[in-house]
Structure 1
Amino acid sequence: MLLSELMKDWPCTLLQGSIRQTVLGITESSKRVEEGFVFIVRKGTICDGMEFIKEALEKGANTIVVDRVDLDLSYIPKEITVLRVPDSTLFVSYGSAKLAGFPGEELEIIAVTGTNGKTTVSHFIGQLLEAVGCRTAVIGTTGIYLNGVLKEHVQDSMTTMPAERLHPILRDCVDQKVTHVILEASSLGLSSNRLAHCPISVGILLNVGIDHYAEHGGKQQYIEAKKQLIRLAKKMIVNEDDPICCDMCTEMASEPTYFSSAHINRKPYTANELNVPVLGKHNEMNARAAICALLSLGYSFEEIHSVLSVLHLPSGRLQRFYKDGIEVYVDYAHTPDALQVVLEALRDHGAQRLFTVFGCGGDRDHEKRPQMGAVAALYSSHVILTSDNPRSEEPSQIILDILSGTAGFSTPIDVLLNRKYAIQYAIRMAQDGDVVLIAGKGHEQTQQIGGNVYPFCDMEEVKRAFINKNRADRDS
C-alpha cells in the first residue's frame, strides 16, 4: 500500500520526506522492522521508542511516525519520511487494520475481559459455537486455536497481542472461512488501544479483582481500562454478582445482558438445570457467561443447552493428573480470588488432604501476596511456598511477603525456592486420597528468573515427580 493511501483518512503532519512510497508493513517494535516498514515511535512504561529509531533505520524502515513535539530528529536522514500523529497507539491500531484490509469487519468478534476467567470463558464460547456448527478461532493467553486445535503459541503468553500482529491473524481467519473469533481482552491491551479498530460484536465483563492495579497506577485506572471494552462493544454481557462490574455499566446507552450464580439473562437457572460438566462453582459461572454470549448472537437457550456437554477446561486450568490414588491439578490461579475459588472447588471435591504449591510473580502486584498466603493457609492442609516467575526480584523476598499473610494460621508451611523441588516434595508427601494443587503458572512453558527465561512446565514436572517417587519407593 502507498503511504499516502495509508494516511489518507488519518490526521498527520509531514515533518520531512515524501508520502509517495510503498509501505510493506507497520510495527512499533524495532526487532520486527523489515525493509519498507513504517516504524511507530511509542513511549512505553519501560522503554521509549525514540531509543530504537536508529536500529529501525538500519533494518530498512522508510517511515518514522511520532506523536510528540519538540523531539530532536535531526539525525534522521532527509530521504526518510517522518510523520507526526496525535496518538501513536491509535495510529498503529488503525494502520495495522487498514494494511490487513479491515478483516474484523468480516467476522463476528467476541471479546472477554476480567481479572479471572478470560481464558476459560473464551474457550467455552468457542466450544459451544463449534458445537452449533460455526467455524471458530480463539486467541488469547494459551495461544491461537482454530476449531479447538492449537495452531500457534502466543509469544510471552501475551493475553491481547499488539494490533500489528492481531489484524494479519484476523485476515488469516477470514481466509480460512472462520466466522467467529473470541478474543481475550486484557486491561493492558485495552488501555493501549490494541483493540481500538477491531469491531466487537459482544463484550463480556467477568469480574474486577486487584491484579494489575500497580501496572495501571491504581484501582480506578484499572477500572477505566476495563471500561474501554464497554465503549468498543455493540452488546455487553455483565456479571451481576460483581458490584464493580455493575457500576461500570450504569452509563451504558442500552441494557446489557446479565448473568449471575442464580440466573442467566434475568431468568433463574440452578446448577442442576444447567448440568455443566466442569469442576468448580467458578467454572459454572464461566459457563453462564459463555451461554450469554451465544444468546446475544441469536441462539436459543434450547440450542445452547443441548450442546453444554461439550464443555471442557483449556490447558492449565484445573488440568488433572491422577496416579497412585493421588489427584494433582495444575491451574493458572495467580490472584487471591482465583486461588480461593480453585481451592474451594477442590475442597468440595472431597480431598482427604489438600496440598497447595504456589508462589507469586516478581515485579508486580505486591499487595496481593499476603492475601494469597492467607487464602492458601485457610483452605489447605499443607502449603509449600516456592518461586513463580520472580523476574528481577529476589525470590526469598517474595516468599516473605506471602508469609506475612499466614500469621495466625496453624497450617503447616514449607518453603522450597526451587519450583521443581517444591513439586517433587508435595508429590512425595501425598498419599492415596490426597489432592495436590500446583498453582500460578498453569499452561506456561517457561519460568522467568532474573533476566533469563528457562523451559519449565508444571505438568511435566508433576509427571517426573511421580516417576522419581515410584523409583524411590522401589529402591527402599
Structure 2
Amino acid sequence: MKPLKKLIKDLEIIDFFPKKHRDYFYNLEIKGITENSKEVESGYIFVARKGTQFNGEEFIEEAINKGAVVILKESPIKEVEKFSNVFFIQVKNIKKALSRIVLNFYSHPEKELILIGVTGTNGKTSVSYFTKNILNKAGLKTGYIGTIFYETDRVIPALETTPSILKIVSLLKEMVDKNFKACVIEVSSHALHQDRILGLTFDIAAFTNLSRDHLDYHQTMESYYQAKKKLFTCYLKPSGKAVVSQETEYGKRLTKELKPILKDRLILVNNEKIKAEILDKKNGLFLLVKFGDKEYKISTQLYGDYQAKNIATLCGILLTLSYKEDQIISYLKDLKNPLGRLELVTEYKGAKIFVDYAHTPSALEEVLKSLKSLKDNRLIVVFGCGGNRDKGKRPLMGQVASVLADEIILTSDNPRFEDPLEIIEDIKKGINGSKPYKVIPDRKEALKEAIKSLKKGDVLVVAGKGHETYQEIKGKRYSFSDQEEVLKIIREIGG
C-alpha cells in the first residue's frame, strides 16, 4: 500500500473533487489499481479509461459500489456530489496518468530489469521464447510476457500477447521480487498503436518481419508498419540497441529509417554477416550459422524453415548482450519449438502430425514449405480463419494451401460472431477449383477425418490455433486444444 500523494506526484492534474478534503484523500493508503470495475476492491483506484470496446466512465458507479476510493478520469468532473466519500481526479492524459501511477505503485520494477522487446508479424513468439530459455540457461534469470503464456516463477495463461501496463508492471514487480534480471516481452502492433506500454523503455528492441495481418484494425499496411516502428522510435532507451532482420522489404526499410538515429546501435541480421542456412531438415534443422567470417555447423531439434531466420535474430539479440559466438552456438542445440509452433504432436501410422499457429498467408506458406521436405507421401492441411478479423487474408490463405498442400480440409477456427460457413466461403475463393478440398465446419470432426485418412509417409498440419486451448464462438470461449484433440482422436480410433 502507498499513500495517494506518492502515486499521483507526476500527474498533470486539471481538476479534483472534493477540494476541501484534498489533504485527507492525499494521505489515503491505496491498496490497488484497476481499470476493470469487476476487479475493484475496497481502497482501490479505478481508472475510468476509454478502451477499444468499453468506456470505463460508464462503470464508475459500479466501481464505487465495490469500494473504489479514487476515480481517475479524463473528462470534466460533474454530478459527483452524491459520492462524498470518493476523490475524483481529472487528468490531461489518462494513458500517461495510468502508466505513472502504476509504475509508482509498484516502485518502478522496470528500472531493475534488462527489458528486451520483440515485434513483427511472424516469429516474435519463437524469438522471444528462445531468448528467454537461452538467457536462463546462461544464468541470467529471465521472465517472459507473450502470446503463449506469461512466465515469472510461475506460468500464467496469456489472454493477449501484450497485456495492459497494469498487468505488465505487476509481472515485472513479481520478477524483481524473485531476483529476475531480465524480461523478454512480445510487443504487438495493437499495443504499440494504443500506447499500451507507455512508461516502459527497452534495452533491446528486435524486429522479425512484416506481412499482411490485422488489417481489420490497422486498415493499411503502412499504418501497420508505422505501429511496429514505434517500438524503435518511442520505446527504445537512448542507449538501447535495435536488432533488425533483413528478411523482408519492411526490415530493410526500417533499417534505412533507423540508421541516422541509431548509427552503431543498429545490428542487422539475416544478411551476409549474420545468418543461419539450412543444410538438412529431415530430423530437425541442421544449420550452418554464420557470424561474419566465422561458420558453425550445428544440429538442432527445431522444425520449420522459418526457424533459421528466427535463429539469426536470436543471435543478434545475444550478441548485443555481449555473448560470444561459440557460447551462442553451444546453447542452440537444445532449443525446441515453442508450444504450437510447428509442434510435432505425435506420429500415427507412420505419419507425422504437427500443430502450428499459422493464421496469416505468409505464416501458412512458411509452414507448408517447411513440411513439404518431410513428407514421403501427402501433405495434408486442416485450417480455417478467425471471425471478425481481416477478411482479405482468407482467400490468400486458401490460395497458399492450394499451391503447397496435397489435400485440404477447411474447418472452423475462432468464428467469434461470424458464421463459420461464410468464413469458409471466403477461403474457398482463393482455392478456386485448383485443388480438391473438403469442408467440415466442426473442428473435431475435421481432425478426425484427417487422422483417419493418414497413411505412412504423410504429414498432417493443423494450422491456425497453435497454443490456444479454446474456440471463441459468439462471445464465449469453449475448451478446445488441437494437441489434446489429436491425441484423443487417436485413442478413440485405436492408435
TM-score, length-normalised on structure 1? Answer: 0.93
Q: Which residue is equivalent to 2:267?
A: 257
Write the distance in 1 (CA, Å) between the matches of 2:212 and 2:46: 35
Shift of 1:44: 1.8
Write the distance in 2 (CA, Å) between the matches of 1:308 and 1:222: 32
- Aligned residues with identical type, % of pairs: 34
Q: Which residue is equivalent to 2:155?
A: 151
Q: Which residue is equivalent to 1:383?
A: 408
Is 1:436 aligned to 2:444, yes or no?
A: no
Conserved 8 A contact 2:380-2:405: yes
Conserved 8 A contact 1:89-1:192: no
Shift of 1:358: 0.4
Change in CA separation of 1:192 and 1:76 when aligned onto 2, cut-off 3 Å? farther
Write the distance in 2 (CA, Å) between the matches of 1:226 and 1:75: 44
- Runs of at least 5 residues in structure 2 that lack an aligned partner in the other structure: 276-289
Write the distance in 2 (CA, Å) between the matches of 1:216 and 1:93: 24
1:208 is aligned, of 207, 210, 220, to: 210
2:308 is aligned, of 256, 274, 284, to: 284
Shift of 1:244: 1.4
1:314 is aligned, of 314, 331, 338, to: 338
Write the distance in 2 (CA, Å) between the matches of 1:75 and 1:222: 44
Greater mean deviation of Cα atoms: 243-252 or 103-112: 243-252
Conserved 8 A contact 2:152-2:171: no
CA deviations 1:125-176 (Å, max 9, x no partner) are 11221222221212211112358xx62212x3x1011111111211111111
Shift of 1:385: 0.4
Greater mean deviation of Cα atoms: 456-465 or 256-265: 256-265
Change in CA separation of 1:403 and 1:314 when aligned onto 2, cut-off 3 Å? same
Secondary structure of the corresponding residue to residue 72 of structure 2: strand
Q: Which residue is equivalent to 1:363?
A: 388
Conserved 8 A contact 1:127-1:310: no
CA deviations 1:192-247 (Å, max 9, x no partner) are 22322223110111111221122134323222221221021221111112221332
Write the distance in 2 (CA, Å) between the matches of 1:387 and 1:424: 14
- Match for 2:50: what amino acid? K
Write the distance in 2 (CA, Å) between the matches of 1:187 and 1:99: 27
Q: Which residue is equivalent to 2:136?
A: 130
Write the distance in 2 (CA, Å) between the matches of 1:370 and 1:73: 52
How many residues are matched? Answer: 465
- Runs of at least 5 residues in structure 1 that lack an aligned partner in the other structure: 472-476
Write the distance in 1 (CA, Å) between the matches of 2:303 and 2:296: 13
Write the distance in 2 (CA, Å) between the matches of 1:331 and 1:298: 33
Write the distance in 2 (CA, Å) between the matches of 1:73 and 1:186: 38
Conserved 8 A contact 2:340-2:355: yes
- Match for 2:235: what amino acid? L
Q: Which residue is equivalent to 1:456?
A: 480
Q: Which residue is equivalent to 2:285?
A: none
Q: Which residue is equivalent to 1:232?
A: 235
Shift of 1:276: 4.4
Conserved 8 A contact 1:90-1:193: no
Greater mean deviation of Cα atoms: 240-249 or 341-350: 240-249
- Match for 1:211: what amino acid? D
Q: Which residue is equivalent to 2:42?
A: 35
1:330 is aligned, of 347, 352, 355, to: 355
Q: Which residue is equivalent to 1:177?
A: 179
- Match for 1:461: what amino acid? E
Secondary structure of the corresponding residue to residue 493 of structure 2: helix
Secondary structure of the corresponding residue to residue 306 of structure 1: helix
Write the distance in 1 (CA, Å) between the matches of 2:257 and 2:92: 27
Q: Which residue is equivalent to 2:426?
A: 401
Change in CA separation of 1:340 and 1:221 when aligned onto 2, cut-off 3 Å? same
Greater mean deviation of Cα atoms: 414-423 or 191-200: 191-200
Secondary structure of the corresponding residue to residue 329 of structure 1: strand
2:63 is aligned, of 56, 63, 74, to: 56
Write the distance in 1 (CA, Å) between the matches of 2:471 and 2:381: 19
Change in CA separation of 1:307 and 1:386 when aligned onto 2, cut-off 3 Å? same
Conserved 8 A contact 2:34-2:40: yes
Conserved 8 A contact 1:276-1:287: no
Change in CA separation of 1:276 and 1:87 when aligned onto 2, cut-off 3 Å? farther
Conserved 8 A contact 1:123-1:314: yes
Q: Which residue is equivalent to 1:5?
A: 6
- Match for 2:157: what amino acid? H
